[in-house]
């Protein structure tokens, strides 16, 4: 199943819209405070705007205020929304973990919504129960549009790295929690400096930007400050401007057109013309980010070190199109080499090697991590003959040291190893280390090329890229 943000990207493209249509049945706008009144208020809005809605955002408070009848009304309203349009429940939940777990179950297991707004002030443990729903999305309150936002969100916080405002700390923490690409932020349209700063520090994150219109936010300023380089990355909530319009469909159409005109101008000015060094940088590099195979933030590695980047290529198996492109690239690289069989290294490279073997019609074997304690007690799996040449397949090369244990098992079985082929060479000495034993490293992609490409295409900020280079230089 696609994640919320993948579905959102698809819907934004299909509708050519970033409108988030609010379903806010204010008591003074509905005919009667009953189940029927709430549904009758929302139904014509959905019918009139479904062509233009990237997302629908029902406000939980207006339904909950009616008690049990309101909950039933919300279920009826959700049933009216077309399946292809994601639903973002505006609930702003935030509580201790056990309570958060119950809130999450209510929203996802009973209502079946696709995303929620959350209040992160209780910390990571209050957010984690929601994140267990891998395919769902979340927008964390960060710098809101209400008049009292500055009472707390602008407070200076000392965190050992200097002083930051509270909303900046929230954004930084969210980046670290966002290990499965599930989190966006709520930044008010009245908070232009915050919009600029958050977008600069995180070029890819989705932002929910309320406050245009009645709350005083300027549409063009908000879009120019918060859009991604591709003209996406913002959801613009609109409710009363549509629900109170004489013709809701006409109002939605006009607003969508106005927004898209600003987006087109923004893209023309902001989107750089980048000629990648090879097609693979754009073909694979973009998707490594969007799939979460490469993440930027603050991560604790197995070694205990704090890293500004995390690479998890095991996620490839959950993205069939990307997996296919990666294996096609491996296959082209392998066609230039001489070998009899390929050997995938457990565990990340086993599915890669399996698909590569099918594409190239190359027989595959693999060295076991632990020798079988029963049956054949084999250290290698598959069919092979002594003297055959083996090309090793792996996902990543860092120092190269981890490859030797597997290579030694192949050599002990009478096989000849000359080439090691990886998807990404992190350029941390692997080629040199392998060369000392007579093995040659081949990489589909070089890590430095990826970093420069992501920076040049404004997918990752300059600060994040520099932090990675600094980390690599010192570790």
Q: Is the pLDDT of residue 275 over 50?
A: no
Average pLDDT over residues 72-82: 97
- One domain, residues 10 and 153: yes
Residue 340 sits in a domain of what CATH number? Answer: 3.40.50.2020
Same domain, 285 and 265: no
Whether 110 and 11 map to the same domain: the answer is yes
The yes-or-no verdict on residue 159 having pLDDT over 80 is no
Is residue 289 located within the same domain as residue 166? no
291 and 264 in one domain? no
Q: What is the pLDDT of residue 464?
A: 83
Between 175 and 363, the higher pLDDT residue? 363
Q: Are residues 154 and 291 in the same domain?
A: no
Catalytic residue, from 36, 57, 92, 377: name it.
Answer: 92
Q: Collapsing DSSP states into helix, strand and coil, what is residue 134? A: coil
Task: Please write the tens of the pLDDT for every residue from 121-133.
Answer: 999 999 999 999 9
CATH code at position 148? 3.20.20.70
First to last CA, the chain: 37
CA distances from 462 to 267, 409, 468 (A): 19, 43, 10
- Is 136 designated active site? no
Residues 362 and 341: beta-carbon distance below 8 Å: yes
Q: Is the separation of the CB atoms in 308 and 175 below 8 Å?
A: no
- Contacts of residue 474, defined as CB under 8 A and 6 or more positions apart, other chains included, come to none
Domain tally for the chain? 2
% pLDDT > 90, the chain: 70
Domain end (from 270, 305, 330): 270
Q: What is the average per-residue pLDDT within 102-115?
A: 96
Q: Which of 270, 301, 329 is the last residue of a domain?
A: 270
What is the C-alpha separation between 130 and 151, in angstroms, rounded?
Answer: 27
**Which H or E run contains 115?**
strand 115-118
Choose one of 270, 288, 312: the last residue of a domain.
270
Q: Is the pLDDT of residue 277 over 60?
A: no
Q: Contact 222/193 with Cβ under 8 angstroms? A: no
> How far, in Å, CA of 108 to CA of 136, rounded?
8
- pLDDT beyond 50 at 350: yes
Predicted confidence band of residue 3 (pLDDT cuts 50, 70, 90): confident
State the pTM of this model. 0.67
171-180: pLDDT as tens digits: 989 988 987 8
Domain co-membership, 404 together with 387: yes
- Same-domain status, 124 and 30: yes
In tens, the pLDDT along 178-192 reads: 878 899 999 999 999
**Segment 195-223, tens digit of pLDDT:** 999 998 888 899 999 998 777 789 999 99
Determine the structural domain holding residue 252 and report its residue range: 4-270
Lowest mean pLDDT among 210-219, 276-285, 391-400: 276-285
Q: Residue 376 pLDDT > 70, yes or no?
A: no
Same domain, 347 and 230: no
CB 141 within 8 A of CB 186: yes
Assess whether 65 and 118 both reside in one domain: yes
Structure tokens at 327: 């294996």
Tell me, yes or no, whether 265 and 285 share the same domain. Answer: no
Residues 257 and 288 in one domain: no
What mean pLDDT, rounded, does the chain reach? 91
User: pLDDT at position 299, please?
Assistant: 82
Residue 278 has pLDDT above 60, yes or no: no
């Amino acid at each position: 199943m696609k994640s919320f943000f993948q579905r959102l990207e698809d819907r934004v493209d299909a509708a050519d819209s970033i409108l988030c249509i609010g379903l806010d049945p204010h008591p003074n706008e509905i005919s009667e405070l009953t189940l029927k009144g709430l549904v009758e208020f929302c139904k014509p809005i959905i019918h009139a705007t479904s062509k233009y809605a990237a997302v629908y955002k029902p406000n939980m408070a207006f339904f909950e205020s009616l008690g049990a009848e309101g909950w039933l009304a919300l279920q009826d309203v959700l049933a009216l929304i077309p399946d292809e349009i994601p639903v973002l429940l505006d609930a702003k939940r935030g509580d201790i973990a056990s309570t958060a777990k119950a809130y999450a179950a209510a929203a996802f297991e009973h209502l079946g919504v696709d995303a929620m707004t959350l209040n992160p002030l209780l910390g990571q443990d209050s957010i984690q129960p929601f994140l267990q729903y891998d395919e769902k999305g979340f927008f964390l309150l960060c710098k809101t549009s209400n008049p009292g936002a500055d009472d707390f969100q602008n407070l200076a916080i000392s965190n050992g790295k200097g002083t930051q405002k509270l909303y900046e700390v929230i954004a930084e923490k969210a980046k670290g929690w966002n290990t499965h690409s599930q989190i966006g932020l709520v930044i008010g349209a009245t908070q232009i400096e915050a919009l600029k700063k958050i977008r600069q520090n995180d070029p890819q994150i989705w932002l929910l930007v309320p406050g245009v219109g009645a709350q005083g936010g300027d549409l063009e300023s908000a879009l120019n400050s918060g859009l991604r380089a591709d003209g996406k990355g913002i959801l613009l909530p609109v409710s009363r401007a549509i629900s109170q319009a004489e013709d809701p469909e006409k109002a939605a159409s006009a607003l969508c057109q106005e927004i898209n005109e600003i987006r087109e101008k923004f893209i023309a000015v902001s989107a750089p013309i980048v000629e990648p060094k090879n097609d693979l940088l754009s073909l694979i590099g973009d998707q490594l980010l969007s799939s979460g195979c490469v993440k930027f933030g603050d991560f604790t590695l197995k070694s205990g070190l704090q890293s500004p980047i995390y690479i998890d290529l095991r996620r490839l198996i959950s993205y069939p199109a990307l997996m296919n492109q990666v294996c096609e690239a491996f296959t082209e690289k392998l066609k230039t080499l001489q070998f009899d069989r390929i050997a995938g290294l457990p565990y990340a490279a086993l599915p890669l090697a399996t698909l590569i073997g099918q594409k190239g019609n190359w027989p595959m074997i693999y060295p076991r991590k632990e020798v079988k304690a029963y049956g054949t007690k084999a250290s290698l799996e598959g069919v092979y003959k002594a003297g055959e040449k083996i090309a090793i397949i792996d996902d990543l090369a860092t120092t190269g040291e981890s490859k030797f244990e597997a290579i030694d098992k192949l050599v002990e079985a009478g096989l000849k190893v000359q080439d090691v082929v990886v998807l990404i060479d992190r350029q941390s000495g692997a080629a040199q280390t392998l060369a000392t034993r007579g093995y040659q490293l081949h990489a589909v992609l070089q890590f430095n090329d990826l970093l420069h490409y992501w920076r040049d295409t404004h997918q990752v900020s300059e600060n994040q890229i520099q932090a990675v280079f600094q980390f690599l230089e010192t570790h």
